[in-house]
């Protein structure tokens, strides 16, 4: 997308002012009038909106969730084979990217062991054990990091 012309910038400014007016007139002003609205009503509207957006969000991502490796392996949704292949390919691509990062750094956040390392090793172990998405053997740097982090005393499970 190229640069915005002066005409478009002016139109955006006018639209912004109109939107601000309508927001003030039909949202802010009525909600500030204690005779028309109560805290209970505002809270009820907030909770209703929250539930509505969660409902919309869940069903919007149903296809995405169904084709992810973990939810798909549970059999909750029917997976779309091509989407599953794409998802697995993305995970493997991420492993390759991590291998490149661990060629330059000892840990996720540089030269220090942090909670980011704990989170990543947990995610890789989960993906490996739960859905057989283990990092490829050729990714030497990733395997070196994984072995080093997993063998730390704080990471050992008794």
pLDDT for residue 40? 77
Residue 141's H or E segment, with its range, is helix 140-150
Residue 66 or 113, more confident = 113
Distances in Å between the alpha carbon of 56 and those of 49, 62, 65, 68, 125?
A: 10, 10, 14, 19, 32
When pLDDT is cut at 50, 70 and 90, the band that residue 43 belongs to is confident
pLDDT at 10 over 90: yes
Q: How large a percentage of the chain has pLDDT more than 90?
A: 34
pLDDT at 59 over 70: no
- What does the mean pLDDT of the chain come to? 83
The average pLDDT across 5-34 equals 89
pTM of the model: 0.54
Alpha carbons 142 and 133: distance in angstroms, whole number: 14
pLDDT for residue 142? 95
Query: pLDDT tens for residues 79-137?
Result: 778 877 888 888 899 999 999 999 999 999 888 898 899 999 998 998 888 778 899 99
Least confident of 4-18, 64-78, 90-104, 112-126: 64-78
Distances in Å between the alpha carbon of 110 and those of 95, 116, 142?
A: 17, 10, 14
């Amino acid at each position: 997308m190229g640069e915005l012309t002066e005409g478009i910038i002016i139109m955006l400014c006018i639209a912004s002012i109109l939107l601000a007016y309508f927001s003030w007139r039909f949202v802010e002003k009525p909600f500030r009038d204690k005779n028309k609205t109560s805290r209970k009503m505002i809270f009820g509207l907030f909770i209703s909106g929250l539930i509505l957006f969660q409902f919309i969000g869940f069903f919007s991502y149903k296809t995405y969730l169904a084709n992810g490796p973990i939810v798909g392996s549970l059999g909750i949704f029917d997976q779309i084979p091509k989407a599953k292949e794409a998802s697995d390919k993305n995970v493997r691509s991420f492993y390759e990217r991590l291998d490149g990062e661990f060629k330059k750094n000892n840990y996720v956040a540089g030269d220090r062991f942090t909670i980011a390392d704990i989170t990543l090793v947990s995610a890789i172990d989960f993906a490996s054990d739960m859905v057989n998405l283990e990092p490829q053997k050729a990714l030497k740097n990733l395997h070196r990091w994984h072995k080093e982090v997993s063998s730390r005393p704080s990471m050992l499970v008794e």
